[in-house]
Structure 1
């Protein structure tokens, strides 16, 4: 009985990573049609040599808090995979949001909901090098036909995400 409950729990949690990746799957099909690669749609930062992955996480969480940008979810994807018997390097997805800005964007156009909340992935590549990766919001801002006030808010979100990532990459507390 216990094992059945555990399997149901694992099946349920398997959908969380997939749901988190849906906006990227949509964006991937869009950019291929325009001749871009998936690498053209993201911003990547490597961690400074003296910054551990745990230090990067602490720095991102502290900076997000200082900027009043709420972490709404943390998905330890590598732990989920390990629980299923899949060997993997570290992968964690952090989701941040300013609910007021999100509400304004969705009120303008419900399609923006596919990009919510903003994500930063902490990932160790096959060579053991740690990275922070997020959606290139400049690309989204360029595609969107935003009123000036909403464009200013989108730029604020982009700048906040970049500040959170930079703090993480440099281990800034």
Structure 2
């Protein structure tokens, strides 16, 4: 039986939202912006956010990627009186790969678990957003076996997002 962790603490919600609440400068080190660090897909026309969620969860399960947490952030914000569009964060993990990456370098723990955010922009258009793992992989300087695992994680996350964006069950 799968256990889904729901975060109920307003402080944890605020902490999770902090990066979204802080102003981001258009220019960062080496000319990179925050948008350069993420991979995002819009939901295809006719795909509801609920369909996208179902598709992502089914695809993750089929790919043996465990859903380890789910944060319905917009519900938490609304409970605090903060009106918002839909924001929901899904956290996935392959524990065996995670353990090997951390054994190589404990800094990888900062990237665990892998997250996909379902979010509606100001116009109400739904998106799926995650960390651009290509950027992390390029910087990682991994031995070949771990490079293969990192690439598998990237491909799995991209496949989960593609299923969600297309509503492919």
Q: Closer, same or farther in 2 for the Cα pair 1:37/1:93, shift >3 Å?
A: same
Q: Distance in 1 between matches of 2:14 and 2:37?
A: 19
- The whole-number CA distance in structure 1 between the counterparts of 2:121 and 2:113 is 24
Aligned to 1:167: 163
Aligned residue-pair number: 159
With 33-42 and 50-59 compared, the bigger mean Cα shift is at: 33-42
RMSD of aligned Cα (Å): 2.1
Q: What per-residue deviation string (whole Å, max 9, x for no partner) do you get for residues 42-98 of structure 1?
A: 011000111000000000000000000000000000001001000000000000000
The Cα of 1:145 is off from its aligned counterpart by 1.0
Residue 84 of structure 2 corresponds to residue 95 of structure 1: no
Given the superposition, is the C-alpha separation of residues 79 and 118 from structure 1 closer, same or farther in structure 2, using an over 3 Å criterion? same
Contact 1:121 1:134 in 2 (8 A): yes
Judging changes above 3 Å, is the alpha-carbon distance between structure 1 residues 36 and 42 closer, same or farther for their aligned structure 2 residues? same
Select 2:15's aligned residue among 15, 18, 33: 18
Out of 136, 139, 144, the position equivalent to 1:140 is 136
TM-score, normalised to structure 1, is 0.86
Q: Could you say which structure has the larger radius of gyration?
A: 1
Q: Are 2:122 and 1:113 aligned?
A: no
Distance 1:155 1:21, change over 3 A: farther
Query: What is residue 62 of structure 1 aligned with on the other side?
Result: 58
User: Cα distance, 1:19 vs. partner?
Assistant: 4.7
Note the residue ranges of structure 2 that are not aligned, 5 or more in a row. Answer: 1-6
2:119 to 93, 117, 123: 123
- Once the two structures are superposed, the pairs formed by residues 80-91 of structure 1 within 5 Å of their partners are 80-91=76-87
Deviations 1:96-153, CA, capped at 9 Å, x for gaps: 0000000000000000000000000000000010000000000000011100000000
The structure where helix makes up a greater share of residues is 1
SS in structure 2 of the partner of residue 152 of structure 1: helix
Give ranges in structure 1 of 5+ residues lacking alignment. 1-8
